[in-house]
Amino acid sequence: MKRIGIFVRAAPGPGVLHQLTGVIAEHGGDITSVEIVESGSSQARVSFELDLPGEGAALIEDLKRLPVVRSAVEVKTFEKVYGKRIIIMGGGAQVGQVAIGAISEADRHNIRGEHISVDTIPLVGEQPLADAVRAVARLPRAKALVLAGSLMGGEIERAVREVREQGLLVISLNMAGSVPDAADLVVSDPVQAGVMAVMAVAETAKFTVERLKGRRVF
107-158 residue pLDDT tens: 999 999 999 999 999 999 999 999 999 999 999 999 999 999 999 999 999 9
Q: According to the model, what pLDDT value does residue 209 have?
A: 79
Q: According to the model, what pLDDT value does residue 19 have?
A: 96
Which tens digit of pLDDT belongs to each residue from 145-155?
A: 999 999 999 99
Is residue 102 within 8 A of residue 144, CB to CB? The reply is no
**Distance from C-alpha of 19 to C-alpha of 173, rounded to nearest angstrom:** 47
For 10-36, what is the mean pLDDT? 94
Q: Which CATH architecture has domain 82-217?
A: 3-Layer(aba) Sandwich (3.40)
- List the chain domain ranges: 2-76, 82-217
Q: Tell which CATH classification among 3.20.110.20, 3.30.70.260, 3.40.605.10, 3.40.50.300 matches the domain 2-76.
A: 3.30.70.260
Residue 86: how many CA atoms within 13 Å on its side-chain side? 30
pLDDT band with cut points at 50, 70 and 90 for residue 218: low
